[in-house]
Chain A
């Protein structure tokens, strides 16, 4: 085969990838349609639960970007979730902003807070970062209850707010509309995260996780990328917090305990570390498993969480998404 033939072979493959891209877009639309369907099928309480599962999936996605893809272990993402929720709640209840206007503000504030946490995190290796974020998670409710900011946060009582009204042209009730809002905002974030991870930046993040020295030698600016990964991650989790504030119509310090950060972490491990799709499973897990376990005993969710977490780490370290990937690969091998 001559060199000319080889170079000629390259453009021939192009159309194929566009077809794959088109197929992917179709798949994505189908997935979105499937995601919207429950809005018309479920009762309002089940729909609320599903809304929360979507929101949790978004929060897990945020954690996955910094911990899964960039290898910076955060046990304190509940803090960013809380910041997002409180930004939205304060703007809506004190200043009468509309929900949509609070979203960009919440994203920016959470991004800045994430940047602020990510900066000292640079100096902390894996375990120390886990430790610091762990203490952040434990301290959050206390900070939120503090008297100095009580006028804004409502102290222990928290703040009440209302769901965004469905637009007048649309035949939805508020619960359905809330679900659609959560799905659309989350879908947009998932798409953005997907593009980020599949591109140059995503590869750089993973290179830094797997071999920082080699990554630096290849010219990656580790400090900048790590802090920005933290900021992006905090932003996504913060948006999830904003959504949860309006979905629950209430924020209070005790909704953002250390248990929240831990369940995001468990959701990430169970769904699949460093997997976009895994975050979705993680969200469903975080919401539904404790509900089922709680029927056994008040303490059961924690114990079952712990057992499932350790079980996954021992048996399926790449999570549910990894299991699906392997089953799919085996099925394809079997078929071909």
Chain B
């Protein structure tokens, strides 16, 4: 029984990471109806940047903040430079650009920072075991941080005028433009925010899985699964979906399929959701008129 409880808690801790990446995906999806295949690679790059800053002797939380700002800028620049020119192109072009971005950032990260697996420091440590040894300090801390980020994002979208403008731009770009919202910049801001959230997820997961250029590929897959499970157009749903996938993955890994087939679990969830309930658990059902 204690094993089960431990698996569930560990699942919630990794689920927090998936929830954060899923949220980043959903934010870009809501604004542009694209799924950013390069989200994971962008997060990995951010984590490497964080490591470099920390190794330069900067205290952890200062480096954390600096990384978030740098990642935000990277996100905005990518949208402005790469996505803007093709915004009216067919889906194939968008997928192509995302794949290109994935290749450039993923391999570029390996080129600059090397392919050796690196340890990444965790800001959370504790002398005595927590909750009777069920949960590690890092698990608790990283879950708190991701939940904090999610609350901040929620407050931002609900209670600031900028958040309202961003939602308007995503919901109905034409009307938003008519009332003076700069829709293009809102999209760029959305990309920046998504990159910043991805950076937080990367820094929280790196102490657990260790840092290497391919760190996020599997995580991105779980985040896809979480976003789809919760409904790709619903940020809160994506967060719940992310946590659910984390727990499912851990339980399946521990009791059903073993660790070798963990990625296949994500694939099964994705196909299952898309075939059985394409709108996800909390998504809107979209009917198209012809």
Known interface pairs A73-B92, A314-B86. Does A139 touch B266 (Cβ–Cβ under 8 Å)?
Answer: yes
Report whether A309 and B270 are in contact in the complex, using a CB–CB cutoff of 8 Å.
Answer: no
- Residues from chain A with a CB closer than 8 A to the CB of B94 are 127
Q: Which of A67, A71, A310 has the most CB of B within 10 A?
A: A310
Report whether B270 and A132 are in contact in the complex, using a CB–CB cutoff of 8 Å.
Answer: yes
Chain A residues 118-144 with CB under 8 Å of chain B are 120, 123-124, 126-128, 130-132, 134-136, 138-139, 142-143
B203 CB → nearest A CB, Å: 23
- Residues from chain B with a CB closer than 8 A to the CB of A55 are none
Q: Which of A213, A300, A309 has the most CB of B within 10 A?
A: A309
A321 CB → nearest B CB, Å: 15
Known interface pairs A131-B270, A309-B99, A310-B82. Does A138 touch B218 (Cβ–Cβ under 8 Å)?
Answer: yes
Chain A residues 307-322 with CB under 8 Å of chain B are 307, 309-310, 313-314, 317
Answer yes or no: A273 CB below 8 A from chain B CBs. yes
- Residues from chain A with a CB closer than 8 A to the CB of B49 are none
Answer yes or no: A299 CB below 8 A from chain B CBs. yes
Report whether A142 and B93 are in contact in the complex, using a CB–CB cutoff of 8 Å.
Answer: no
Chain B residues 241-271 with CB under 8 Å of chain A are 260-264, 266-267, 270-271
Interface segment, one of A176-184, A225-233, A234-242, A258-266: A258-266
| Partner among A120, A127, A134, A213 whose Cβ is within 8 Å of the Cβ of B271 | A120
Answer yes or no: B217 CB below 8 A from chain A CBs. yes
Known interface pairs A309-B99, A313-B100. Does A127 touch B267 (Cβ–Cβ under 8 Å)?
Answer: no
Known interface pairs A124-B278, A298-B115, A310-B82. Does A303 touch B100 (Cβ–Cβ under 8 Å)?
Answer: no
Answer yes or no: B152 CB below 8 A from chain A CBs. no
A65 CB → nearest B CB, Å: 14
Known interface pairs A127-B34, A128-B278, A303-B107. Does A317 touch B271 (Cβ–Cβ under 8 Å)?
Answer: no
Answer yes or no: A164 CB below 8 A from chain B CBs. no
B205 CB → nearest A CB, Å: 17
| Partner among A131, A132, A142, A309 whose Cβ is within 8 Å of the Cβ of B100 | A309
Report whether A297 and B274 are in contact in the complex, using a CB–CB cutoff of 8 Å.
Answer: no
Answer yes or no: B209 CB below 8 A from chain A CBs. no
- Residues from chain B with a CB closer than 8 A to the CB of A128 are 274, 278
A117 CB → nearest B CB, Å: 9
| Partner among B33, B91, B106 whose Cβ is within 8 Å of the Cβ of A73 | B91
Give Cα distance in the complex from A138 to B275, angstroms. 20
| Partner among B104, B260, B290 whose Cβ is within 8 Å of the Cβ of A142 | B260
Report whether B107 and A306 are in contact in the complex, using a CB–CB cutoff of 8 Å.
Answer: yes
Give Cα distance in the complex from A306 to B107, angstroms. 9
Report whether A314 and B103 are in contact in the complex, using a CB–CB cutoff of 8 Å.
Answer: no
Q: Residue on B with the closest CB to A125?
A: B91
Kindly supply a per-residue 1/0 record for chain A positions 292-336, scoring 1 wherever the CB is within 8 Å of any chain B CB and 0 otherwise. Answer: 000001111111011101100110010000000000000000000
B89 CB → nearest A CB, Å: 8
Answer yes or no: B85 CB below 8 A from chain A CBs. yes
Answer yes or no: A145 CB below 8 A from chain B CBs. yes
Report whether B217 and A310 are in contact in the complex, using a CB–CB cutoff of 8 Å.
Answer: no
- Residues from chain A with a CB closer than 8 A to the CB of B95 are 73, 75, 126-127, 130
Report whether A317 and B93 are in contact in the complex, using a CB–CB cutoff of 8 Å.
Answer: yes
Report whether A302 and B271 are in contact in the complex, using a CB–CB cutoff of 8 Å.
Answer: no
Chain A residues 255-284 with CB under 8 Å of chain B are 258, 262, 265-266, 269, 273
Report whether A67 and B92 are in contact in the complex, using a CB–CB cutoff of 8 Å.
Answer: yes
B242 CB → nearest A CB, Å: 16
Give Cα distance in the complex from A136 to B224, angstroms. 13
Give Cα distance in the complex from A302 to B101, angstroms. 10
| Partner among A67, A130, A298, A303 whose Cβ is within 8 Å of the Cβ of B103 | A303
Answer yes or no: A94 CB below 8 A from chain B CBs. no
Report whether A313 and B93 are in contact in the complex, using a CB–CB cutoff of 8 Å.
Answer: yes
Known interface pairs A266-B99, A269-B96, A310-B101. Does A124 touch B108 (Cβ–Cβ under 8 Å)?
Answer: no
Answer yes or no: B54 CB below 8 A from chain A CBs. no
Report whether A138 and B104 are in contact in the complex, using a CB–CB cutoff of 8 Å.
Answer: no
- Residues from chain A with a CB closer than 8 A to the CB of B103 are 262, 266, 302-303, 305-306, 309
Answer yes or no: A147 CB below 8 A from chain B CBs. yes
Report whether A143 and B101 are in contact in the complex, using a CB–CB cutoff of 8 Å.
Answer: no
Q: Residue on A with the closest CB to B34?
A: A127
Answer yes or no: B110 CB below 8 A from chain A CBs. yes
Answer yes or no: B140 CB below 8 A from chain A CBs. no
Give Cα distance in the complex from A299 to B105, angstroms. 10
- Residues from chain B with a CB closer than 8 A to the CB of A273 are 92
- Residues from chain B with a CB closer than 8 A to the CB of A297 are 111
Kindly supply a per-residue 1/0 record for chain B positions 139-167, scoring 1 wherever the CB is within 8 Å of any chain A CB and 0 otherwise. Answer: 00000000000000000000000000000
Report whether B224 and A147 are in contact in the complex, using a CB–CB cutoff of 8 Å.
Answer: no
- Residues from chain A with a CB closer than 8 A to the CB of B86 are 313-314
Q: What are 19 sample pairs from A and B whose C-beta atoms fall under 8 A apart? A: A123-B278, A124-B278, A131-B224, A132-B271, A134-B37, A138-B221, A142-B262, A143-B264, A299-B110, A299-B115, A300-B107, A302-B106, A303-B108, A306-B105, A309-B97, A313-B89, A313-B97, A313-B100, A317-B93
Starting from the known contacts A134-B37, A306-B104, 17 additional A-B residue pairs (CB-CB under 8 Å) come to: A124-B274, A127-B33, A127-B94, A130-B91, A132-B274, A135-B266, A139-B221, A139-B264, A146-B261, A298-B110, A300-B111, A301-B107, A303-B108, A303-B111, A305-B103, A310-B104, A317-B89
3 shortest interchain CB distances as A-B pairs: A302-B107, A306-B103, A306-B104
User: Which residues of A come within 8 Å of B, CB atoms?
Assistant: 67, 71, 73, 75, 120, 123-124, 126-128, 130-132, 134-136, 138-139, 142-143, 145-147, 213, 258, 262, 265-266, 269, 273, 297-303, 305-307, 309-310, 313-314, 317
